[in-house]
Structure 1
């Protein structure tokens, strides 16, 4: 998710949380605590999603490298067999 979309969603969720908290409690202190809690929770969720995407990307990349090494080993095996059969 691009940062711009994330930031708009973050403001929307935090604003809705602040309004809901104010209408329920009629306390500015409660609004500040709830808003900071929502802000912190969303930041942690965004950071965790970025870590997950990095992990998934690195895992996919290492899988491709293993496949390339396996293909290269198989090519070497076929070439050596053809070489040995040709020298008989």
Structure 2
């Protein structure tokens, strides 16, 4: 935001114009951020659930989980 403010001021030589442009950019960034969060929430609601994923990959065999052995020094 500071770079935008300084760049606009250098080009226009008007602090008022620089402030308006910076506030406009800030507002645009906020709207884009809010829209992207809404999109991610919408996309996650459309994602298949865990049970549905298991049905899709039903041809694979389930491998039992084995606890890992801890290394022990037997001295």
With the shorter chain as reference, the TM-score category is: 0.5 to 0.7
- Structure-2-length-normalised TM-score: 0.64
Question: Runs of 4 or more off by more than 3 Å in structure 1?
Answer: none
**Larger relative helix fraction:** 1
Q: What runs of 5+ residues in structure 2 fail to find an aligned partner?
A: 56-75
Offset of residue 64 of structure 1 = 1.7
Q: What runs of 5+ residues in structure 1 fail to find an aligned partner?
A: 1-13, 72-88
The equivalent of 1:15 in structure 2 is: 2
Q: Distance in 2 between matches of 1:37 and 1:18?
A: 11
2:4 maps to 1:28 = no
2:40 to 53, 61, 66: 53
Q: Distance in 2 between matches of 1:51 and 1:16?
A: 28
Paired residues in the alignment total 54
2:49 to 32, 53, 64: 64
Q: Distance in 2 between matches of 1:36 and 1:20?
A: 14
- Structure-1-length-normalised TM-score: 0.55
